[in-house]
């Protein structure tokens, strides 16, 4: 680090108010009497948001009978702590639920470090491993994993065990630099096995009781900070989650469940009824900040010791401002208590642009009670694309000429969106920031992380054979009814038009949330409109939370259109024809359900239904690994069997399939994905 770098860094660390461990030039053996006592550090250790010279180290060490204690943190070049580069004292406070954050700085770039914490009596944490980022100009190939959606209540985190197993055996230059977590780090909706022993074919595991919980259907949800803290602890107490956090730095951005399943801004919604929940939003932000070491900004200012939440009231929010944000002081304070969107640079080839999809978003119009009028019992999940486009566009639809009513079949439904702003998930300020970051990035690959999927999820019920069911009431294609960025047509077009107009190449999106694996092209529109991709897009399957294919096995029993979604075989097996439905259209799905002949089914593909898709698996779980270099980006999907129980083998259990998608850098031209099935059977997904 040059003097200038060092001065610069110290200024930024001071701005964070960091408790700082500054590396000394010559490493020395530890002089701390560390004796491992894992039970005193029940959530282990973690690290987050590495840059070339620093990383945040984390642990939790609860004490009783006092409000504050001190730990010693050490970071070393070796796991035996013979070459310790920095030692420092760090406070732990009852007020922060005994969580501890330290910024270790003055580190060497692209280097593996080991760290640990010790209390005044010599009781030590487990040893963690972390890595710094390469320098901005470093041209080395970057490898990282991305994940989402870990439910300890309903599944096992075998995907992490597999990731650890493979990484430990990989050559050094093929090891992961970090894990990008795209949210649903926790599920705040907790089931108790004495009330709900099973969901689908899964066992509901006991993860404890949520203090001050509110009961919503089968779920107990937090109403206070203590509730969220308990849920974080329950997730991190999982041995596979904990081992993953101890092996790699995580770069995290939350999705919906870090706050509330159907929440947005500082609203929650149960049974279709929205409620102001500013205090709950602050509590959720605080618990996130305490348990996830990261460089997010908090409104209380610098300092890694405590969140210091603003005081807010659960006040009604009478109106939206012109950008769809709740125009009320407590809503602004609550949402503003933490700003999570940020960038992470990783060498010459990777810029991560992390965005927050739930703090600034408007209420999803398709979940509003007025939208119940669009339910089509003959066509489960389907919503005519033109209907969704009107709901999305609000008053901006069709050049600010929204219709007064929306026709669906022979019905006419009032357009409840016609005087409201176009749907936004990003909000005005974050969107401007995103565009600015995309334009400014000089990395080979500009990797944007919309936590919710960007790839259209639609099919072609207009091609159903006559007489099978009621006539399709839409004008053409059917979407699966909103709920993520693929339904934010106006905003997605705005971002993708910006990518095109600014001549940005190497544009990549990586997402989670859908509990399914998808690979394809970033395009604002599909046929019959012009299909003109500006980049490539990937969505990772969940670590463990159940997905749509699993839900469908248990739902739609006896429905005429069930074969579109699931094929029930004589031997009791079930096949996810929903993959064919989305990628190839209704004719392929129906034919495959009837014959089981995949070649025949593929021959019936509607080429216009999904030119944007290379891969879709609504039943996959696991993780994805990105390899980014000067000329190509690869994403490998590592899919494991449904994780209903913890694997009994150290490799995390078998692999269902491993599929690679590769794009070489396009310049002005059109991105092209090349697909290779490396292992296993993915025939319904390609
Ligand atoms: Fe999820």
- pLDDT for res 668: 75
- Label residues 503-517 b or e (16+ Cβ within 10 Å = b): ebbbbbbbbbbbbbb
**Is the predicted pLDDT of residue 396 greater than 70, yes or no?**
yes
CA of 256 to the centre of ligand 1 (A): 8
- Residues 166-195 have pLDDT tens digits of 999 999 999 999 999 999 999 999 999 999
**Is the predicted pLDDT of residue 142 greater than 60, yes or no?**
yes
**Is the predicted pLDDT of residue 4 greater than 50, yes or no?**
no
- pLDDT for res 1: 45
CA pair distance 287, 310, nearest whole angstrom: 14
- pLDDT for res 409: 86
**Is the predicted pLDDT of residue 590 greater than 50, yes or no?**
yes
| 380 CB-contact burial (10 Å; exposed 0-12 / middle 13-18 / buried 19+) | middle
**Is the predicted pLDDT of residue 81 greater than 90, yes or no?**
yes
CA of 147 to the centre of ligand 1 (A): 10
Q: How far, in Å, are 72, 508, 641, 659 from residue 680 at the CA level?
A: 47, 26, 11, 9
CA of 188 to the centre of ligand 1 (A): 11
- Residues 84-127 have pLDDT tens digits of 999 999 999 999 999 999 999 999 999 999 999 999 999 999 99
CA of 284 to the centre of ligand 1 (A): 16
- Residues 313-369 have pLDDT tens digits of 999 999 999 999 999 999 999 999 999 999 999 999 999 999 999 999 999 999 999
- pLDDT for res 9: 63
CA of 534 to the centre of ligand 1 (A): 27
H-only helix segments in 17-80: none
Q: How far, in Å, are 103, 147, 444, 445, 596 from residue 345 at the CA level?
A: 17, 19, 11, 11, 47
CA pair distance 509, 556, nearest whole angstrom: 32
CA of 650 to the centre of ligand 1 (A): 26
Please give the structure tokens belonging to residue 660.
């690679």
CA of 264 to the centre of ligand 1 (A): 15
CA of 511 to the centre of ligand 1 (A): 11
CA of 109 to the centre of ligand 1 (A): 33
CA of 453 to the centre of ligand 1 (A): 11
- pLDDT for res 20: 65
CA of 184 to the centre of ligand 1 (A): 5
Report the percentage of the chain scoring pLDDT > 90.
Answer: 94
CA of 543 to the centre of ligand 1 (A): 9
- pLDDT for res 93: 98
Which pLDDT band, with edges at 50, 70 and 90, does 10 fall under? low
Over range 635-658, report the average pLDDT: 98
Pair 360, 305: CB distance under 8 Å: no
CA of 18 to the centre of ligand 1 (A): 32
Pair 77, 27: CB distance under 8 Å: yes
CA of 630 to the centre of ligand 1 (A): 33
CA of 149 to the centre of ligand 1 (A): 4
Name the DSSP letter for residue 323.
T
CA of 108 to the centre of ligand 1 (A): 36
**Average confidence score pLDDT of the chain:** 96
CA pair distance 289, 307, nearest whole angstrom: 7
Of the ranges 16-20, 563-567, 664-668, which one carries the lowest mean pLDDT score? 16-20
**Is the predicted pLDDT of residue 614 greater than 80, yes or no?**
yes
CA of 366 to the centre of ligand 1 (A): 18
CA of 545 to the centre of ligand 1 (A): 6
Which pLDDT band, with edges at 50, 70 and 90, does 7 fall under? low
Which pLDDT band, with edges at 50, 70 and 90, does 2 fall under? very low
Of the ranges 22-36, 213-227, 254-268, 516-530, which one carries the lowest mean pLDDT score? 22-36
Which of helix, strand or coil describes residue 651? coil
- pLDDT for res 22: 75
- pLDDT for res 353: 98
Write out the H or E segment, with its range, that includes residue 535.
strand 535-539
CA of 370 to the centre of ligand 1 (A): 25
């Amino acid at each position: 680090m040059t003097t200038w770098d060092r001065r610069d860094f110290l200024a930024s660390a001071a701005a964070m108010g960091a408790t700082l461990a500054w590396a000394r030039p010559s490493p020395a053996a530890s002089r701390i009497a560390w004796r491992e006592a894992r039970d005193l550090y029940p959530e282990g250790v973690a690290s987050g948001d590495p840059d070339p010279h620093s990383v945040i180290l984390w642990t939790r060490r609860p004490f009783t009978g006092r409000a504050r204690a001190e730990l010693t943190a050490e970071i070393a070049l070796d796991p035996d702590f013979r070459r310790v580069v920095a030692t420092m004292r760090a406070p732990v406070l009852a007020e922060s639920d005994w969580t501890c954050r330290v910024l270790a700085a003055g580190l060497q770039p692209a280097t593996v470090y080991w760290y640990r914490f010790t209390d005044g009596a010599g009781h030590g944490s487990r040893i963690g491993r972390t890595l710094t980022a390469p320098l901005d100009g470093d041209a080395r190939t970057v490898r990282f994993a991305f994940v989402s959606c870990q439910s300890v209540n309903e599944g096992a985190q075998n995907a992490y065990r597999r990731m650890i197993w493979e990484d430990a055996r990989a050559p050094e230059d093929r090891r992961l630099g970090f894990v990008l977590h795209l949210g649903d780090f926790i599920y705040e909706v907790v089931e108790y096995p004495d009330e709900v022993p099973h969901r689908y074919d899964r066992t509901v595991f006991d993860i404890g009781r949520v203090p001050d919980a509110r009961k919503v259907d089968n779920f107990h949800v937090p109403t206070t900070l203590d509730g969220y803290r308990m849920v974080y602890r329950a997730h991190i107490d999982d041995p596979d989650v904990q081992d993953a956090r101890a092996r790699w730095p995580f770069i995290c951005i939350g999705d919906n469940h870090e706050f509330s399943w159907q929440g947005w801004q500082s609203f929650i919604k149960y049974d279709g009824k929205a409620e102001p929940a500013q205090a709950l939003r602050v509590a959720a932000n605080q618990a996130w900040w305490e348990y996830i070491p990261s460089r997010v900004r908090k409104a209380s200012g610098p300092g890694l010791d405590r969140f210091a939440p603003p005081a807010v009231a659960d006040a009604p929010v009478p109106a939206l401002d012109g950008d769809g944000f709740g125009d009320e002081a407590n809503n602004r304070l609550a949402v503003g208590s933490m700003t999570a969107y940020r960038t992470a640079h990783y060498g010459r080839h990777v810029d991560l642009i992390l965005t927050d999809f739930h703090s600034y978003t408007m209420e999803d119009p398709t979940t509003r009670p007025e939208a119940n009028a669009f339910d089509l019992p003959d066509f489960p999940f389907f919503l005519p694309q033109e209907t969704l486009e009107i709901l999305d566009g609000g008053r901006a639809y069709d050049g600010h000429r929204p219709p007064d009513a929306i026709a669906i079949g022979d019905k006419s439904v009032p357009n409840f969106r016609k005087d409201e702003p176009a749907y936004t998930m990003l909000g005005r300020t974050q969107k401007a920031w995103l565009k600015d970051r995309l334009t400014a990035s000089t990395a080979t690959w500009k990797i944007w992380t919309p936590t919710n999927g960007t790839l259209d999820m639609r099919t072609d019920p207009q091609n159903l054979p006559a007489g099978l069911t009621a006539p399709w009431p839409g004008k053409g294609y059917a979407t699966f009814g909103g709920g993520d960025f693929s339904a934010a047509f106006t905003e997605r077009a705005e971002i993708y038009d910006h990518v095109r107009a600014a001549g940005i190449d190497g544009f990549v999106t990586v997402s989670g949330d859908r509990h399914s694996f998808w690979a394809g092209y970033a395009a604002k529109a599909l046929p019959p409109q012009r299909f003109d991709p500006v980049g490539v897009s990937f969505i990772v399957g969940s670590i463990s939370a159940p997905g749509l294919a699993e839900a469908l096995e248990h739902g739609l029993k006896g429905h005429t259109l069930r074969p579109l979604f699931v094929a029930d075989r004589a031997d009791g097996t079930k096949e996810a024809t929903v993959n064919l439905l989305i990628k190839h259209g209704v004719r392929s799905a129906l034919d495959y359900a009837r014959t089981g002949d995949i070649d025949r089914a593929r021959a019936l593909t509607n080429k216009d239904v999904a030119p944007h898709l290379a891969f879709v698996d609504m039943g996959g779980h696991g993780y994805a690994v990105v390899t980014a270099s000067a000329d190509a980006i690869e994403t490998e999907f590592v899919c494991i069997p449904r994780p209903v129980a913890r694997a009994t083998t150290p490799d995390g259990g078998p692999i269902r399939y491993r599929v690679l998608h590769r794009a070489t850098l396009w310049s002005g031209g059109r991105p092209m994905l090349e697909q290779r099935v490396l292992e296993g059977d993915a025939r319904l997904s390609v």
